[in-house]
């Protein structure tokens, strides 16, 4: 295969699982990461799983000269861009940090790509770009309108990439809108390792199960859903990773294409908790508390387009998501620390 794949943020949660799938599919991988929310140990674990060691460059995308140097050393065929900040709450409290980090780093990356005539780009976007007013399941034509600064950085980058393509029709761009990634590699060697108290549901459940948190707070039980708790489209991180490999294979024609990556099924908070307890034989005490500001009642994807055009669909169900999330957490109670 000609040219390496550059993976920015390749030691992060979704990035590291994608690197494994890329290596398994025989791509040569170069990772750029600044380790702001990840660990160097990931590289050893990836090697243990795949018997291959990706090249790692410890640098920051905000440093354009360094990125330029990296592009001089390799001949990249495509870039998969994961790197960025992703904590919704933090983005509300510190919006400028989010606008600067996420947007400026993508501008730098695209400028250097242009300079080296590397114009194949896969972007890590999010279902959070959709407006909360849409009917579910939501397809790629749903109304846009994120309700927090993090989500707006994703939407602005999508729009910037669209303008870039309008200005230069040689670009081949795929935007992947992730629903709720959970789970971990089945080996239990890599997984999600959030800094501090987890914000998201599955890492919080596993930290309760491992005894680090007393109980799970279920944010609201009075939504208009099957049991009153919030419903989301949880997708196993390995399925999501495989979606990137398919997107890469299909990113062959100039243009800008957008895909939802989810399972198309919605599970409530209580369904996830109960499945987790049943599958893993562990107790997850919980209490119902007030709704979390900014949460929407239901979000799940119409995944027809990815199935038809990328020849991809999620294969792992909620049972594997719960099993693999717990396998990772119990073997690594402190994540990579």
Contact positions vs ligand UFG (CB under 6 A):
86, 88, 126-128, 179-180, 199-201, 204, 216-219, 230, 232, 269, 292, 295, 299
Residue 31 or residue 216: which is nearer to ligand UFG going by CB? Answer: 216
| The residue count for the chain | 337
In angstroms, the Cα distances linking 250 to 78, 174, 186, 227 are 12, 9, 27, 39
Q: Kindly tell me which of 187 and 225 has the beta carbon lying closer to ligand UFG.
A: 225
Taking CB positions, which residue lies at the least distance from ligand UFG? 230
Nearest approach, Cβ of 180 to ligand UFG (angstroms)? 5
The Cα–Cα gap between 205 and 326 comes to 9
Closer by beta carbon to ligand UFG, 54 or else 230? 230
Q: Distance (Å, rounded) from C-alpha 333 to C-alpha 318?
A: 22
Angle, vertex CA 254, rays to CA 253 and CA 259, nearest 5: 75
DSSP 8-state class, residue 100: I
- DSSP E strand boundaries for the chain: 4-8, 29-33, 55-58, 76-81, 120-126, 172-178, 180-182, 216-219, 231-232, 234-236, 255-261, 267-268, 286-289, 298-299
State the nearest-atom distance from the C-beta of 12 to ligand UFG, in Å: 13
Identify whether 267 is a catalytic site residue: no
Smallest gap from residue 240 Cβ to ligand UFG (A): 12
- Residue 170 or 215: the one with the smaller Cβ distance to ligand UFG is 215
Give the shortest CB-219-to-ligand UFG separation in angstroms.
4
Enumerate residues 6+ apart whose C-beta is below 8 A from 51.
Answer: none
Query: Measuring CA to CA, how many Å separate 131 from each of 140, 141, 171, 186, 321?
Result: 12, 11, 27, 34, 27
- Point out the catalytic residue in the list 150, 165, 223, 234: 150
Please identify, using beta-carbon distances, which residue of 101 and 299 lies nearer to ligand UFG.
299
Strands 216-219 and 255-261: unpaired
Q: At what angle do helices 269-280 and 318-331 cross, to 10 degrees?
A: 60
Q: How far is the CB of 213 from ligand UFG (least distance, A)?
A: 9
Beta carbon nearer to ligand UFG, 31 or 270: 270
Q: How far is the CB of 67 from ligand UFG (least distance, A)?
A: 25
Let me know: does 231 contact 220? Beta carbons within 8 Å.
no
* Bridge partners, residue 78, by sequence: 5
Comparison of 88 and 209: residue with beta carbon closer to ligand UFG = 88
Instruction: Give the SS3 label for residue 24.
Output: helix
DSSP H helices, 129-265, are 149-167, 201-209, 237-250
Minimum distance from residue 107 beta carbon to ligand UFG (Å): 21
Q: What is the CA radius of gyration of the chain?
A: 19
Q: Are strands 216-219 and 29-33 parallel, antiparallel or unpaired?
A: unpaired
Task: Tell me which residues are annotated as active site.
Answer: 150
């Amino acid at each position: 295969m000609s040219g390496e794949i550059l993976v920015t943020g390749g030691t992060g949660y979704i990035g590291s699982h994608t690197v494994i799938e890329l290596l398994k599919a025989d791509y040569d991988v170069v990772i750029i990461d600044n380790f702001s929310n990840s660990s160097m140990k990931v590289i050893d674990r990836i090697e243990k799983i795949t018997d291959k060691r990706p090249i790692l460059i410890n640098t920051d995308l905000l440093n354009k000269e360094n990125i330029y140097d990296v592009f001089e050393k390799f001949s990249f065929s495509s870039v998969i861009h994961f790197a960025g900040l992703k904590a919704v709450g933090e983005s509300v409290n510190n919006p400028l940090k989010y606008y600067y980090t996420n947007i400026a780093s993508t501008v730098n990356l695209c400028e250097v790509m242009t300079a080296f005539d590397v114009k194949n780009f896969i972007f890590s976007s999010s279902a959070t770009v959709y407006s909360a007013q849409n009917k579910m399941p939501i397809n790629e034509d749903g109304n846009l309108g994120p309700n927090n600064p993090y989500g707006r950085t994703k939407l602005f980058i999508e729009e910037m990439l669209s303008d870039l393509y309008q200005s230069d029709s040689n670009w081949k761009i795929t935007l992947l809108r992730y629903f709720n990634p959970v789970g971990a590699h089945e080996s239990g060697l890599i997984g999600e390792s959030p800094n501090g108290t987890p914000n998201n549901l599955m890492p919080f459940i596993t930290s309760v199960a491992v005894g680090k948190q007393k109980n799970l707070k279920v944010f609201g039980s009075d939504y208009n859903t099957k049991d009153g708790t919030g419903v989301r489209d949880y997708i196993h991180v390995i399925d999501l990773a495989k979606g990137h490999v398919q997107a890469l294979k299909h990113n062959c024609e100039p243009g800008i294409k957008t895909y939802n990556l989810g399972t198309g099924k919605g599970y409530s908070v209580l369904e996830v908790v109960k499945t987790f307890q049943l599958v893993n034989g562990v107790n997850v005490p919980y209490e119902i508390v007030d709704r979390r500001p900014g949460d929407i009642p239901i979000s799940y994807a119409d995944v027809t387009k990815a199935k038809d055009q990328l020849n991809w669909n999620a294969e792992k169900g909620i049972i594997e998501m719960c099993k693999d999330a717990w396998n990772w957490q119990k073997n690594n109670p402190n994540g990579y620390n």
